[in-house]
Structure 1
């Protein structure tokens, strides 16, 4: 590999314009692909197979009216006064326009809803009064019938007595016609009374049925009493937009049409804000904060390299690689569902590693120029040695990122694949475009004062190993610091951001804040509860079951209101909107989702409940990612050990490196938890509403920090090994290797921290914690683990650090990461003894 890269570097330096032109063509092609095929990005995250996804799919098939996604438009007066009649009328006209937007199923007019609810309350009151009056009338009728029956009974008794007297006097035959006529009159009257009594009983039955229906309606209304569409003070209203498609499939054009309807028809004195479900499309993947981070990296390069020209080369090459990678990723967004984090992660990593990888080659080339090496030979040798290390370092990052596909989580695998592609492009740029640029610039990559100086060889400075006491102190202090920083990770809770985590002043944040203030936090994340009704449930039983289920749900802690949404056509599903007491990312709402899924309805054992909705989906996704985390961490640790055994031909060095990686990762988790979940230093990092840690952040941090940690391990410890195999005592080799690599690793780490740090203040809520986690993780891994803990452990291990069983030494291939063999073939230098069994041959 080193020889191949050497030839590639020489070719690129000699045919510089060809290489530069080729990359420009690639850049233009990527831009054209984006223009032709690019789609839109979303902040919506889905994982097929979760309970929420299964419920949503079933609703879409059996209950389409409840399956469509919803978004909320929040209206509120500028001065906090009550909405006037004129403002309400003007807004109602806007609602009609929104309902005409393609992809919108319906728009819930909040003013009509409140009027309807008030009317229903009035109707229930009037109905109860009519029923009471009807009951009084029936009671009066029953009383009259009872009195008439008593009179008939008395007449019947008199008639029976008269019949008995006539019979006793022997005059029955003469009196019979008169007595029969009277008996007929009594029977007819009794029949009439029976008819009247039956009619009253029928009226009573109908009245009681109506009363029961009325009371069911009253109970349903009482269940939903906590749900309002207009605030108590009348200054705010929420408009629910029902889409035809599930939320994650709603076209961006539909959402933009909803916004346009309001923006094109402004109402004086009324401000309009949109929930995240409507403003999910992303206009840009980078902002001012990211540019500031890049500017800091430029300053670091200028200070390190002492030349504007040299400092500009890594930036230029990285920007070209990032542009190709980002445009290529965005070109896929038209055919592949892609969340906003996907290309941003590629941008972040591509920029950081692109600068660092180009810097490694540039730094080697500048050193060789100062030693008097010919330009093209120096470029080729720098590409074959440092470039070889860059390829291997990039390969470790690629493996870690592509391993995200092993989690079986689609969006996470796509993120890893896109990021891996950006890193691969950064490697290709470093070993092709960078040599071409170096060939074009010649000795201008050196400061002016160094260009015409005679070639110098630097005498080897004497090296003195650190003391054992200093090594123990460094080890204890470093591990203790990392453990303390990692402690908050024990309390880490995973979730997805809601409107409260959006930048203050954004429309999503304003919408969330107004709803929380005017309607309660729970209305920012209502749950959709679906009850599977028993087979054969009659139409008359459905309403009673709805009330029974609703009352059971309302009796739970942390439930504010329950509104029956409706039932499917075959009466097998009943849907409810459930408003929790707290917001969608709260612990109580998470617990409520699990409670609802396990809930049994008293007296209705066949009724099963399922939960869907954005809040439920976020909880399911977070749990799915949390479950996948241990397996992914184990995979990465296994890869780490295998790769490092191959590179360093040692058993102990990989264990030390991997242990340090685990410490730095968990310390990064602790820092993220303390700031984004606990709210420490929130004012500095823009955390105005602490919440759960981004659900896929731990997985991303493990993958990315693994690759970067292996980079720093490679560039530092390979120098230690090189010194050791050339005869330097093990403990002195530790200092020599650290001295050789610390300058470039320090600069590379600072650049990484600067680039990642710029994303800590991104306009995208999901990117900010990722930027902080990566920046903080690199800081800890580079300066605490690699610069402090690893050298201390290597010192304490001495020669044992490089022990490897002979059978394993024979099996392992010689990867020669640093290209030592290539350097001996192409760059004359004083021979040094090589320790027997060394990998450098």
Structure 2
């Protein structure tokens, strides 16, 4: 393979303008398609093949108007009296202020029915029966529902800003005014976190290369790679559903791997240029050697994230496929765009030099910090193995207290959620939609039976309010309807175990409902999230086995060893458990005040983190350890080869890890909870795995094994294909003396 990559790198270097033009043309074509198609990312969670998915499908078929209204912005404005005014102060004392608030809310754009936005105090007085639904905590908390015809998928930051301006205007003077759901969940436009990540990466690359121009090349590749990936996803969103949540993960991973892969190839090009010969041949050797490692590192990541499809959850599948596309584009850019850009800048690639930064590629005799660290590890490997694993084991302890859920409430909504809990209970806004469907005839008897059973269940907030509506035009009970919809409000929050249990208890009534020739299903976003969490729990172990198994086989071919892949895989298990523990400690338990409001760990975080981090961990395994193997097979002793690997790879791997950590950490600045938690988890995972496992424990274990680390049983050696990841076939291509 290295010979083909050598030819590709040399071709791209020599035909630089054609290659660069092809990448620019691809971007231009996709931009044109996006302009013409006007695709949009979705924001809803769909879970086909589950009970919640069936319920949502039936709602769409039999209750289309209600379903449509659920896809539009339904915001809850929560008002409450200031506690400083004492317990006797009720909202009735603030009627004029609330009326002014209602008037401003009615003037929001795209309000579906202005008359439906009413003062809860006045509404409760006019219709006493609805008082418990709009007034709580003895009249100290009230609800105002604002329904705007704007689709949730079309919400923009301006929609949220228009509402928050009104809330700020009427907040104070003894009145709390907050809001949740609806337009409050409009997401800010992406860009800030990405730019911060690029800026930090640029600084790190200047230090790594000691030159300005070379630092720009990985940056350009990262921008092009991520831009192309996002455009591909946007175009595909016109034809298939692509959830907006998936795009944050794709962007995060795309930036990191694009820059990292470019960093490895540019660093190797610098080494090859110092050996002499034609620059095009140097580019070919860089792609044939470091590029081979990039291909297999990328393949490992692609296998890990693409395997997420086996879970069968659309959102997770979209994340996995999007991430796989991002990595594939990053690999392709590294093999073609990087040598083309190096050809374009020519002899100016490593200029102007920064005089106070030491040369990035040290000489064969330089006693660098990396070399000294490697020499220390080789001399006494056992303390490093024990110490590294002990640190990770301690970090993993909080994992035993992990709580999974899908609490997507933003920090801006927490105050409103607190008021809701105070006035109406935690389950407000976490409604369950129970669909009872009779294939033939009336659903009345089945719906009445379902209502009676649900009213008797624990954790139902207000059993007396559990009623049903039919899908016909008549009032309840609707004798001619074949489908009924029951709205159930739980006592607990949407992500709590109690609500999950309530969902399952309602579904457990299915045998009794079947006696009435009907079926019962539980839907709504709360039930969908519950199903998502349960399905992810069941899929975690099978997915882990698939990913680790496939990647282990790939690494046997890459390293032509059993011990090295085994050590790398076991090390990954330690680092990922430590990552879970640290994420629980900071996000679920609020250690050190890193976040203002603690949350359960996102349900899909563990399984997605396993896929992505395993792939990235193998990146560093490939880039650092292949250089060690390369030196070993060229005659060095096992321990000297490890030190040589540090000499040539420690600085670039350290720089790559810092870039990864910086890019992921930058996403903690995002207001979106998912992006913030994912950013932290990915950053700490790279820190644990790159510096403790790959740079410390793995080399120490290899040193302990000595020559045994670099061998295969004879029977297995015959079965494993020689991938030549070290680029032996092109190691001296272009440097051979001319024939006499």
After TM superposition, the score normalised by the length of structure 1 is 0.75
Q: Quote the residue 1:306 is aligned against.
A: 210
Quick one: structure 1 residues 385 and 77, their matched pair in 2 at CA, closer, same or farther if it must change by over 3 Å?
Answer: same
| Alpha-carbon distance in 2 for matches of 1:736, 1:385 | 16
| Alpha-carbon distance in 2 for matches of 1:671, 1:605 | 50
Deviation of 1:351 after TM superposition, in Å, equals: 0.9
**Of 203, 212, 237, which aligns to 2:143?**
237
| Alpha-carbon distance in 1 for matches of 2:50, 2:182 | 20
Q: Which runs of structure 2 are paired with 1:393-472 in the superposition (5 Å)? A: 393-448=297-352, 458-459=363-364, 470-472=380-382
1:662-708 deviations in Å (ceiling 9; x for gaps): 22222212222222222223x32xx3222221111112211111211
| Alpha-carbon distance in 1 for matches of 2:452, 2:149 | 29
Q: Quote the residue 1:639 is aligned against.
A: 550
Deviation of 1:520 after TM superposition, in Å, equals: 3.3
| Alpha-carbon distance in 2 for matches of 1:259, 1:449 | 48
**Of 70, 73, 84, which aligns to 2:95?**
84
Deviation of 1:400 after TM superposition, in Å, equals: 1.6
Contact in 2 for aligned 1:87/1:267 (Cα 8 Å): no
**Of 765, 770, 779, which aligns to 2:678?**
770
Contact in 2 for aligned 1:42/1:282 (Cα 8 Å): no
Q: Quote the residue 2:473 is aligned against.
A: none
Q: Quote the residue 1:577 is aligned against.
A: 487
Choose 654-663 or 672-681, whichever is displaced more: 672-681
Q: Quote the residue 1:74 is aligned against.
A: 76
| Alpha-carbon distance in 2 for matches of 1:645, 1:325 | 30
Q: Quote the residue 1:390 is aligned against.
A: 294
Q: Secondary structure at the match of 2:189?
A: coil
1:656 aligns with 2:562: no
| Alpha-carbon distance in 1 for matches of 2:210, 2:40 | 42
Aligned residues: 703
| Alpha-carbon distance in 2 for matches of 1:604, 1:36 | 50
Q: Quote the residue 1:51 is aligned against.
A: 51
**Of 490, 493, 498, which aligns to 1:588?**
498
Contact in 1 for aligned 2:377/2:696 (Cα 8 Å): no
Choose 465-474 or 715-724, whichever is displaced more: 465-474
Deviation of 1:523 after TM superposition, in Å, equals: 1.0
**Of 508, 521, 526, which aligns to 2:426?**
521
Deviation of 1:798 after TM superposition, in Å, equals: 1.7
| Alpha-carbon distance in 2 for matches of 1:645, 1:366 | 29
1:107-151 deviations in Å (ceiling 9; x for gaps): 893648876765665xxxxxxxxxxxxxxxxxxxxxxxxxxxxxx
Q: Quote the residue 2:88 is aligned against.
A: none
Choose 45-54 or 235-244, whichever is displaced more: 235-244
1:150-196 deviations in Å (ceiling 9; x for gaps): xxxxxxxxxxxxxxxxxxxxxxxxxxxxxxxxxxxxxxxxxxxxxxx
| Alpha-carbon distance in 2 for matches of 1:226, 1:361 | 66
Q: Quote the residue 1:158 is aligned against.
A: none
1:670 aligns with 2:581: yes
| Alpha-carbon distance in 1 for matches of 2:617, 2:196 | 25
Deviation of 1:603 after TM superposition, in Å, equals: 13
CA radius of gyration, larger in: 1
Q: Quote the residue 1:622 is aligned against.
A: 533
Q: Secondary structure at the match of 2:466?
A: strand
Deviation of 1:266 after TM superposition, in Å, equals: 10
| Alpha-carbon distance in 1 for matches of 2:583, 2:315 | 22
Q: Quote the residue 1:348 is aligned against.
A: 252
| Alpha-carbon distance in 1 for matches of 2:668, 2:393 | 24
1:798 aligns with 2:706: yes
| Alpha-carbon distance in 1 for matches of 2:451, 2:335 | 70
Quick one: structure 1 residues 91 and 797, their matched pair in 2 at CA, closer, same or farther if it must change by over 3 Å?
Answer: same
Q: Secondary structure at the match of 1:72?
A: strand
Quick one: structure 1 residues 291 and 448, their matched pair in 2 at CA, closer, same or farther if it must change by over 3 Å?
Answer: closer
Contact in 2 for aligned 1:348/1:755 (Cα 8 Å): yes
| Alpha-carbon distance in 2 for matches of 1:514, 1:532 | 36
Contact in 1 for aligned 2:210/2:353 (Cα 8 Å): no
Q: Quote the residue 2:19 is aligned against.
A: 19
Quick one: structure 1 residues 235 and 594, their matched pair in 2 at CA, closer, same or farther if it must change by over 3 Å?
Answer: closer
Q: Secondary structure at the match of 1:522?
A: coil
Q: Quote the residue 1:285 is aligned against.
A: 190
1:503-562 deviations in Å (ceiling 9; x for gaps): x3x3x44543443344333213223345679999897x8997687446413xx2463555
Q: Quote the residue 1:151 is aligned against.
A: none
Q: Secondary structure at the match of 1:327?
A: helix
Quick one: structure 1 residues 705 and 536, their matched pair in 2 at CA, closer, same or farther if it must change by over 3 Å?
Answer: closer
Q: Secondary structure at the match of 1:528?
A: strand
Q: Quote the residue 1:567 is aligned against.
A: 469
Contact in 2 for aligned 1:230/1:238 (Cα 8 Å): no
Quick one: structure 1 residues 763 and 546, their matched pair in 2 at CA, closer, same or farther if it must change by over 3 Å?
Answer: same
Choose 331-340 or 391-400, whichever is displaced more: 331-340
| Alpha-carbon distance in 2 for matches of 1:817, 1:772 | 32
Q: Secondary structure at the match of 1:688?
A: coil
Q: Quote the residue 2:232 is aligned against.
A: 328
Q: Structure 2 stretches of 5 or more lacking a match?
A: 83-90, 356-360, 471-477
| Alpha-carbon distance in 2 for matches of 1:251, 1:544 | 34
| Alpha-carbon distance in 2 for matches of 1:477, 1:564 | 58
Quick one: structure 1 residues 119 and 601, their matched pair in 2 at CA, closer, same or farther if it must change by over 3 Å?
Answer: farther
Q: Quote the residue 1:817 is aligned against.
A: 725
Quick one: structure 1 residues 457 and 255, their matched pair in 2 at CA, closer, same or farther if it must change by over 3 Å?
Answer: closer
Quick one: structure 1 residues 489 and 530, their matched pair in 2 at CA, closer, same or farther if it must change by over 3 Å?
Answer: same
**Of 723, 733, 741, which aligns to 2:641?**
733
| Alpha-carbon distance in 2 for matches of 1:239, 1:255 | 20
**Of 387, 396, 402, which aligns to 1:477?**
387
Q: Secondary structure at the match of 1:323?
A: helix
| Alpha-carbon distance in 2 for matches of 1:643, 1:314 | 27
| Alpha-carbon distance in 2 for matches of 1:634, 1:344 | 26
Contact in 2 for aligned 1:561/1:580 (Cα 8 Å): no
Q: Structure 1 stretches of 5 or more lacking a match?
A: 122-220, 245-249, 830-841
Q: Quote the residue 2:116 is aligned against.
A: 109
| Alpha-carbon distance in 2 for matches of 1:492, 1:9 | 47
| Alpha-carbon distance in 2 for matches of 1:679, 1:264 | 30
Deviation of 1:817 after TM superposition, in Å, equals: 0.9
| Alpha-carbon distance in 2 for matches of 1:339, 1:793 | 43
| Alpha-carbon distance in 2 for matches of 1:353, 1:47 | 30
Q: Secondary structure at the match of 1:523?
A: coil
Choose 720-729 or 751-760, whichever is displaced more: 720-729
Deviation of 1:373 after TM superposition, in Å, equals: 3.6
| Alpha-carbon distance in 2 for matches of 1:350, 1:656 | 27
Q: Which runs of structure 2 are paired with 1:210-249 in the superposition (5 Å)? A: 226-228=132-134, 232-233=138-139, 236-239=142-145, 241=147
Contact in 1 for aligned 2:119/2:144 (Cα 8 Å): no
After TM superposition, the score normalised by the length of structure 2 is 0.84
Deviation of 1:709 after TM superposition, in Å, equals: 1.2
Quick one: structure 1 residues 573 and 815, their matched pair in 2 at CA, closer, same or farther if it must change by over 3 Å?
Answer: same
Contact in 2 for aligned 1:400/1:636 (Cα 8 Å): yes
1:762-804 deviations in Å (ceiling 9; x for gaps): 1222111111111111111111111111112112222221231
Choose 712-721 or 62-71, whichever is displaced more: 62-71
Deviation of 1:754 after TM superposition, in Å, equals: 0.6
1:269 aligns with 2:170: yes
